[in-house]
Amino acid sequence: MTEPADLLLTNATVHTLARPDETHEAVAVRDGRIVRVGDAFKVSLLRGVETEVIDCGGGVVLPGFVDAHTHLEMVGRHLVHADLRGVDSPAAAVDRLRERAAETDGPVLGYGYDESTWDEARYLTRADLDSVTEDRPVVAFREDMHTASVNSVALDRYRAAMPDGDVHTEDGEPTGVVVEEAVGPLFDAFDPGVAETADLVRAAQERANALGVTAVHDMCRGSHKPRVYRDLDDAGELTLRVRINYWIDHAAAVVETGLRSGHGSEMVEVGAIKSFTDGSLGGRTAKLTEPYADGDETGQWVVDPEELAEEVDRAADADLQFTAHAIGDAAVDATLDVLADHDAERLRHRVEHAELLPDDLVERFAEVGAVASVQPNFLKWAREGGLYESRLGERRREVMPFRDLLDAGVPLAFGSDCMPLDPLFGVQQAVTAPEARQRLSVTEALRAYTLGGAYAAGAETEAGTVEPGKRGDLVVLADSPWAVDGDQIGDIDVTHTIVDGAVVYRDG
Ligand SMILES: [Zn+2]
């Protein structure tokens, strides 16, 4: 007699994503693993008295989404503090900060403002923020985190630690805008401790689960997150699998403490060592072979290829996966050169972002065998008249060629970089991409957001498809992404998210 399942999902179309177009009617999970996928009758045989049965209402069941590039603490900050993304004027930003001031007795913090999208395109000033409150610090961080606006209280308190050159003034008076090195003292002053980091992570994981995310590869630098993830796991509070990618400045400590990629529990594990080769296209700091369309420069190295080669050697010698941020074609080229000296497949070395990829680099990528950890949501900037056209001109068509990468055999792992965290929005962008060489089918895009992330973690036999023996990480959608128009995919509702066989999110 077969043991009953813990959970049955019925009245559904289960897309396994294991084989093209393979669908079933129901799925059963026991002890955190998928035990049966098949027709409704066959799966119903596993129903016992204590089995939880979810009627999916004709919805679609998929493997849970794996977001291969997140910054969960930042998601938490947007949720807990004033979220200044999407406001359309300085006045609207001030309103959000006032709402936050009414909720807390402490400092008033806001994150993510972007004045370039406002009609009144100016930074928030000291006067704006003094109007929020004059008796507590008010700080509004710009989206790129290289610029912040402060009120008079914050300025008085932290100015001594700020280099004068990075404190903007007008007629000798500080405007309240501080940049670069002067932002550092603000980070230090408002650095969340362990308890607050736990609150930020709890808020972020709730959001991630609501969007169907069951696992993330999270970027950690100088943060309490690695401890917090393990504490939450011990307490049984973690509802998201977390693979920690440690910043390069933690590499020596990771090696010294004897950690290698994959060490950890079922819920929290060591991932890669993450380094940087170049900057961003927005900031004209991504390293290009030809100058920017709107400037003479070709970007800059953050870590040059020689140093990168040493970093990869050190990580690989310790059996640590390596991932390098590389956005411009010159940066990707140099990164692939370095990775070519290694067995990239063994440790699943990856290139983060890999945005500007002319044809020859697509071929090289395939030869090297590295994972392309890419963000389909960034295609929102690759459309006609978008940011990438201003920076790259016609080369915008060579940005993020997912179709060509897939056809060449490059493993794709989709992620969001939390801009925004939302897998279905990313799938929509990939399916509706402006260029044929960028565009994927719904199935291909969903596989990159599930099996792709699992592969990048060396876990493709454990996760990423709906098959017996795999982890019970699933998402239920109200509508089929195959049945709606491509540009509606991002609007599909997630009705249930299941991690390790437990329902961690339920709609309504
Ligand atoms: Zn990132």
| Domain stop point among 166, 189, 212 | 189
Distance from the alpha carbon of residue 93 to the mean position of ligand 1, in angstroms: 24
Radius of gyration of the chain (CA): 23
Residue 350 CB: number of other CB atoms within 10 A? 28
Does 325 fall in a domain?
yes
Domain match, 420 and 465 both: yes
Q: Are 128 and 134 in contact (CB under 8 A)?
A: no
Alpha-carbon distance of 8 to 1, in angstroms, equals 18
Distance from the alpha carbon of residue 442 to the mean position of ligand 1, in angstroms: 25
The single-letter DSSP state of residue 284 is T
Domain match, 138 and 220 both: no
- What is the token pair recorded at 398? 């060579």
Domain match, 163 and 290 both: no
Q: Are 34 and 7 in contact (CB under 8 A)?
A: no
Distance from the alpha carbon of residue 217 to the mean position of ligand 1, in angstroms: 10
Give the range of the structural domain holding residue 115, as residue numbers without chain letter: 108-189
Distance from the alpha carbon of residue 97 to the mean position of ligand 1, in angstroms: 25
- Total length of the chain: 508
Domain match, 146 and 273 both: no
Instruction: Specify burial of residue 418 (Cβ count, 10 A radius: 0-12, 13-18, 19+).
Output: buried
Beta bridge pairs of residue 10? 55
Does 354 fall in a domain?
yes
Distance from the alpha carbon of residue 373 to the mean position of ligand 1, in angstroms: 11
Distance from the alpha carbon of residue 355 to the mean position of ligand 1, in angstroms: 13
Q: Are 28 and 477 in contact (CB under 8 A)?
A: no
Does 328 fall in a domain?
yes
Does 54 fall in a domain?
no
Alpha-carbon distance of 447 to 469, in angstroms, equals 18
Distance from the alpha carbon of residue 481 to the mean position of ligand 1, in angstroms: 27
Work out how many domains the chain is built from and give that number.
2
The CATH number for 297's domain is 3.20.20.140
Domain match, 185 and 206 both: no
Q: Are 275 and 249 in contact (CB under 8 A)?
A: no
Does 349 fall in a domain?
yes
Domain match, 418 and 277 both: yes
Distance from the alpha carbon of residue 417 to the mean position of ligand 1, in angstroms: 5
Instruction: Specify burial of residue 493 (Cβ count, 10 A radius: 0-12, 13-18, 19+).
Output: middle
Q: Are 181 and 162 in contact (CB under 8 A)?
A: yes
Distance from the alpha carbon of residue 21 to the mean position of ligand 1, in angstroms: 33
Domain match, 181 and 199 both: no
Does 83 fall in a domain?
no
List CB contacts of 346: < 8 A, sequence separation 6 or more: none
Beta bridge pairs of residue 63? 474
Distance from the alpha carbon of residue 221 to the mean position of ligand 1, in angstroms: 11
Domain match, 199 and 225 both: yes
Distance from the alpha carbon of residue 14 to the mean position of ligand 1, in angstroms: 32
List CB contacts of 483: < 8 A, sequence separation 6 or more: none
The CATH number for 172's domain is 3.10.310.70
Chain CA centroid to CA 374, Å: 10
pTM higher than 0.85 for the full model?
A: yes
Span between the terminal Cα atoms of the chain, in Å: 37
Distance from the alpha carbon of residue 219 to the mean position of ligand 1, in angstroms: 7
Domain match, 130 and 244 both: no
Distance from the alpha carbon of residue 488 to the mean position of ligand 1, in angstroms: 26
Distance from the alpha carbon of residue 418 to the mean position of ligand 1, in angstroms: 8
Distance from the alpha carbon of residue 128 to the mean position of ligand 1, in angstroms: 30
- Of 259, 274, 247, the closest CA to residue 335 belongs to 274
* 399 residue type, one letter: V
Distances (CA, A) of 187 to 157, 161, 162: 13, 12, 12
Domain match, 423 and 476 both: yes
Distance from the alpha carbon of residue 71 to the mean position of ligand 1, in angstroms: 6
pLDDT tens, the chain, 508 aa long:
589 999 999 999 999 999 989 999 999 999 999 999 999 999 999 999 999 999 999 999 999 999 999 999 999 999 999 999 989 999 999 999 999 999 999 999 999 999 988 999 899 999 999 999 999 999 999 988 889 999 999 999 999 999 999 999 999 999 999 998 999 999 999 999 999 999 999 999 999 999 999 999 999 999 999 999 999 999 999 999 999 999 999 999 999 999 999 999 999 999 999 999 999 998 899 999 999 999 999 999 999 999 999 999 999 999 999 999 999 999 999 999 999 999 999 999 999 999 999 999 999 999 999 999 999 999 999 999 999 999 999 999 999 999 999 999 999 999 999 999 999 999 999 999 999 999 999 999 999 999 999 999 999 999 999 999 999 999 999 999 999 999 999 999 999 999 999 999 999 7
Does 436 fall in a domain?
yes
**What does the DSSP assignment read for 424-449?**
HHHHHHHHT-SSTTT---HHHHHHHT
Chain CA centroid to CA 364, Å: 25
Distance from the alpha carbon of residue 409 to the mean position of ligand 1, in angstroms: 25
Alpha-carbon distance of 63 to 251, in angstroms, equals 32
Q: Quote the crossing angle between the two packed helices 194-210 and 72-80, to the nearest 10°.
A: 90
If phi > 0 it is left, if psi is from -120 to 50 it is alpha, else beta; for residue 433 that is beta
Q: Which long-range contacts (CB under 8 A, 24 or more apart) does 221-224 make?
A: 221/246, 221/247, 221/249, 221/250, 222/247, 222/249, 223/73, 223/197, 224/192, 224/193, 224/194, 224/197
| Domain stop point among 141, 158, 189 | 189
Domain match, 235 and 147 both: no
Domain match, 114 and 214 both: no
Half-sphere exposure of 369 (CA within 13 A, CB side): 9
**Is the peptide bond between 20 and the residue preceding it cis, with omega within 30 degrees of 0?**
no
Distance from the alpha carbon of residue 398 to the mean position of ligand 1, in angstroms: 21
Q: Give residue for tokens 């296209």.
A: 281
Q: Are 174 and 168 in contact (CB under 8 A)?
A: yes
Distance from the alpha carbon of residue 25 to the mean position of ligand 1, in angstroms: 38
